[in-house]
Amino acid sequence: MIDARYTLFSHIPLYADPDGALHTNRLWEKDLSLHIGYLPNLRLCCPVLPRTQVPHPTDADTRIDGLSPERVVALRPNQGWGAVLANIMPNLRIIRRALRDSDIAHSSGVGWPFPLSYYLLALRRSGAFEWVMVIESSDWMIPQGQRGTLRARLGQRLHGRLIRACLRASDARIFTQAWYRDTLLGHERATLIAPAIWLDAESILPESALTPRAPGPLRVICPTRLIAEKGLHTVMQALSVYAGTPGAPPLHLDIMGEGPMAQELARFAKSLYLAAGPARLRLIPPLPYGPAFFEALRGYDTALIASEKEEQPRIVFDAFSQGLPCIASRTHGNLSVIDQDRTGTFFTPGDPADLAAVLARLARDPAALSDLRPGVLAEVALKTHEHMHRTRAAFLKRVLTRA
């Protein structure tokens, strides 16, 4: 238990009813509840909008009962550079006020285009707070193997310098993978490597529930947002290569998700079907994170993660929880949580021929993936959302003087 006044600075908005009750999405409410479990004096500094302005019903479908409105300081939302420039001084004053009531401040490197950590960096010398920095994504980094536009290269250099300055100025740093620490900070003390996980213990399939594989072609699931950064153009090109490979065995790939690439993927899936080749692609709608989602995963042999960026994807542990090895792009985020030939296999990011070759090898003997399933389940045995929070709490208790 950490009794200090702990303020979490976040770009994720909350939505308020006329009576002041606060709502958010189900997963963020769960995460906040786990925070409150060891941070009884948790405060939040984030945008607060009327519930009538929620963009999607699921963004505000869960009431936050453990956090009173009096412990929430409302920020102005920053959506694009225009809002950032208009709000920079008002938000600076709001954050300064929130810091006066804080013993410990918690921020991250997310929140494009202007992470809230930059405000804390500007106020660092004027405040007496201890600072926790969390690095779990890197939207500003150009994917490996890509040159990026001039604007992207300049943005990467600027954000890299500012994030490094924030990390040096902070008192405790939590990274989701060692590569972030090594690239952005180095081997400093007061650091923790803790992979990001949403998984609950009750969602993990017992090894005794593993069943023999049903006959048929290799069945692959790819749960993802339908955006280019997730490597979906590489996936389509790989399926084209696969379809043109003489003697390629049948392969069924389902992409589960929604996003701006949906129509492009649907057209491509239709073209594969009309070509009557060995590869089949199906676009299926996303399922809510919970029992139905995990049950659906069990119908596949493997999960495909083709992301081109360096984030450590949470979906890896979701797949592991149902005994599914992963086919993943060889990014630092994927390398940090998947072991070659034990819990999955890799292909070169952005290389459709390499992905097609991996798919062909596995499709020739899909039953071989079943041999990995007990080891995959063992890998995820203690990797749950609750365990992640317990690990973070113990770390903060150890390194912060006010904890």
pLDDT value at residue 80: 79
Specify the pLDDT at position 48: 96
Residue 72 belongs to what H/E stretch? strand 72-75
Angstrom distance (rounded) from CA 48 to CA 54: 11
**Cβ-based neighbour number of residue 270 at 10 Å:** 12
pLDDT of residue 113: 80
* Distance separating alpha carbons of residues 178 and 90, to the nearest angstrom: 36
What is the reported pLDDT for 155?
Answer: 86
DSSP 142: P
Confidence at residue 156, expressed as pLDDT on a 0 to 100 scale: 86
Q: Cβ(132)–Cβ(171) under 8 Å?
A: yes
Of 224, 244, 226, nearest in space to 352 by CA:
244
Contact between 368 and 362 under an 8 Å Cβ cutoff? The reply is yes
Which pLDDT value is given to residue 400?
94
10-residue stretch averages of pLDDT, the chain, 403 residues long: 96 94 95 95 97 91 92 91 88 96 95 90 90 91 83 89 95 95 88 94 95 94 96 98 94 97 97 93 96 97 96 94 98 96 96 98 94 95 93 96 80
Catalogue all structural domains in the chain, each as residue range(s) with its CATH number. 6-197+385-399 (3.40.50.2000), 201-379 (3.40.50.2000)
Which of 382, 380, 378 has the alpha carbon at shortest distance from 390? 382
The model's pTM is 0.92
CA dihedral 141, 146, 150, 156 (to 10 degrees): 10
pLDDT on residue 379:
93
Q: For residues 348 and 334, what is the distance between their CA atoms, to the nearest angstrom? A: 12
Which residue type does 88 have? I
